[in-house]
Amino acid sequence: MSPRDAFGPNLRRARIQRGVSLQQIAQETKVSEELWDGLEHNDFERWPNGIFARAYIREYARMIGVDPDATVDEFCRWFTQGDRRVLRLVREQAHIIGHEQLQYRDEVPPDVVQDRRGLTAVPAAARQEQSSGLLTKLRRAFSKA
């Protein structure tokens, strides 16, 4: 059995070992037992895509007592429903509205780091200057003490 084929059955095994039923998971998450059963059999035909699929996997993993981050990463590696990249979605939407010559890129240049809170991007050289200035101030403060 390949690692991809073992994903759902391994989660099922962990759930059973910890004594958690699908009914308990369905009641707490308000997601049907059929969807959770599909997860355990790698049947994602009725599953949502993207962030919703990852949120479901994270909650399931939390409830059965396995590492949620590792489980979500593995899910994203094996199944397209968990795809974190935006490019596929953007291409599908561009195709729907007739923009076949898509120029969108889903990459961040290596010399720019985007602030996670949506603030402006700071070039790498400027970040280094800021941090070296702070280090200089700290050195002065400690040398006076």
Distance CA 134, CA 128 (A): 10
Q: Tell me if residue 122 falls in helix, strand or coil.
A: strand
* Statement: residue 60 has pLDDT above 80: yes
The predicted pLDDT at position 116 comes to 46
Clarify whether residues 18 and 62 are in a common domain: yes
Q: Write out the H or E segment, with its range, that includes residue 90.
A: helix 87-97
The number of beta carbons lying within 10 Å of the beta carbon of residue 27 is 11
Q: What percent of the chain has pLDDT over 70?
A: 67
Q: Tell me if residue 70 falls in helix, strand or coil.
A: helix
Domains held by the chain: number: 2
Q: Tell me if residue 123 falls in helix, strand or coil.
A: strand
Clarify whether residues 23 and 77 are in a common domain: yes
Q: Tell whether the torsion through CA atoms of 13, 18, 19 and 24 is positive or negative.
A: negative
Task: Please say whether the beta carbons of 75 and 53 come within 8 A.
Answer: yes
Decide if 137 is inside a domain.
Answer: yes
Decide if 91 is inside a domain.
Answer: no
Decide if 107 is inside a domain.
Answer: no
What tens digit of pLDDT does each residue of 8-29 get? 999 999 999 999 999 999 999 9
Range of the structural domain that residue 61 is part of: 3-82
Clarify whether residues 74 and 117 are in a common domain: no
pTM, to two decimals: 0.57
Decide if 57 is inside a domain.
Answer: yes
Distance CA 25, CA 101 (A): 45
